[in-house]
A and B are shown apart, each in its own frame.
Chain A
């Protein structure tokens, strides 16, 4: 090689491999391809593992949670489990969620697609009160949600006495059965069947009151049968078993819940002057009453 230090060149040339040594190109290219195949396989395994981990994490996120903080939460759309009763929480000194400002201040976005009246099919047994009342209060419940039972025991009677019976509120009960509650839809069928025979309020209250019993095994029938006559019970059973249209109101209610982006039970939606305000979780009755009274003075 043409350079200026033959002494260095001589020593570096000592490194020249023996002339008879010939690298095996065919074997080498095979090894390169094997190496690449192994690399691709490892990468595919890694990506598969990463994907499996992502799916697992997503599944965990979408798994229905236990009821907590006074509500039940739904996995995807409807929330699932209720929290301890409001009064119990108060007794333990827990901080209650503050009520939102009245709707006239800054309500949630009005529900253009589901105006209260327009979306309602003829299901009058779920409504009570003056149809022209200034306030419409929709209460979304799951019959297997313990907090919904508490609301019906502690808050709904006050609403009926102070607002519905005085003509200031139309009360609408809506079904929002959560996927995590195995018997919630069955209970809703019994309640709606009772509504068809004029016994809606009676059966709703009975189902909530006996929730702990039928929630164990789904035997709603036995509990309902305790408060109605045998012939009425036969009509209810017949509808529960055979009426394919019985779930129509429940399906409609769930669609409204989705439009309102509800994720828990119980939830209240108060409509005043055409604006819908979601109250979820539902505040204790005294705060709810203050809120409604302020609305009515506007």
Chain B
């Protein structure tokens, strides 16, 4: 009996993944509007990449989203180290809290940008709520090794953070 691959429904895939993809990127990119732009870019690349459709769509999307955001983070780190901290992040109760929270975010982002790309991707995907299986699928890893690799990534993160900012 002839079998035929189901037609690709981009809109369904978009609605299933867009919000989460945008949030993954927004963890790395301070500007939410910019995070949305990058999410659009990732989804458009997904649309134009037929081999990414199907069962592996989620893995492809999260991997691309994390890589895109880390690249953006590194690019911005090189190009605008003097950028003001006064950008809007709604929700902080006092100006001092806002300043402190943003400073901590900047420290984390700086450390992520300094880490090995694969370790940064692991940390970001896991902290975005993906399961070990989802992380393994996104980064093309053996699921059994994700725990070990994640532990090493955390050690690297801690070491780099303390080296730069001390034990806060």
Residues from chain B with Cβ under 8 Å of A23 in the complex? 18-19, 22-23, 26, 32, 35-36, 39
A15 touches B105 (CB 8 A): yes
| Residues from chain A with Cβ under 8 Å of B123 in the complex | 8, 12
Answer whether residue A20 sits at the interface, using C-beta atoms and an 8 A cutoff: yes
Q: How far is the CA of A16 from the CA of B104 in the complex (A)?
A: 12
Which residue of chain A lies nearest to B20 when distances are taken between CB atoms in the complex?
A: A23
B40-48, B59-67, B79-87: which lies at the interface: B40-48
Residue-wise interface mask of A (1-33) relative to B, using a CB-CB cutoff of 8 A (1 in contact, 0 not): 101110111011111111111111100110110
- Chief secondary structure at chain B's binding surface: helix
In the complex, which residues of chain A have a beta carbon less than 8 angstroms from the beta carbon of B157? 8, 11-12
B90→A21 contact, CB < 8 A: yes
- In the complex, what distance in Å separates the CA atom of A24 from the CA atom of B150? 32
User: Which residue on B lies nearest to A30, using beta carbons?
Assistant: B40
**A1→B40 contact, CB < 8 A:** no
B31 to chain A, nearest CB (A): 11
- Bitwise, A31-75 to B at CB < 8 A (1) or not (0) is 110011001000000000000000000000000000000000000
Whether A28 pairs with B18 at a CB distance below 8 angstroms is yes
Q: A25-B18, A32-B43 are in contact. Are A39 and B26 (CB under 8 A)?
A: no
Q: Are B18 and A29 in contact (CB under 8 A)?
A: yes
Question: Which of B40, B43, B107 has the most C-beta atoms of chain A within 10 angstroms of its own C-beta?
Answer: B40
Residue B108 lies at the interface, judged by CB distance under 8 Å to chain A: yes
Within 8 A of A (CB), among B1-53: 11, 14-15, 18-19, 22-23, 26-28, 32, 35-36, 39-41, 43-44, 47-48
A14 and B44 contacting across the interface, CB-CB below 8 Å: no
A39 touches B43 (CB 8 A): no
Q: Which of A3, A24, A32, A39 has the most CB of B within 10 A?
A: A32
B68 CB, min distance to chain A CBs, angstroms:
14
| Contact present for B127 and A5 (CB under 8 Å) | no
Q: Report the bound CA distance from A11 to B124 in whole Å.
A: 11
Question: A3-B126, A28-B18 known; A20 and B91 CB under 8 Å?
Answer: yes
Contact flag A28-B48 (CB < 8 Å), given A4-B151, A15-B28, A18-B89: no
CB within 8 Å for A25 and B127 given contacts A18-B90, A32-B40: no
B141 CB within 8 Å of chain A:
no
Q: Are B18 and A14 in contact (CB under 8 A)?
A: no
Query: Can you sample 8 A-B contacts with CB below 8 Å?
Result: A9-B127, A11-B104, A12-B123, A19-B91, A23-B32, A25-B19, A29-B11, A29-B14
List 17 additional contacts besides A11-B104, A25-B15; criterion CB under 8 Å.
A1-B126, A1-B129, A4-B154, A5-B155, A7-B158, A11-B107, A12-B108, A15-B105, A15-B109, A16-B27, A23-B22, A25-B18, A25-B19, A28-B22, A29-B14, A29-B43, A39-B44
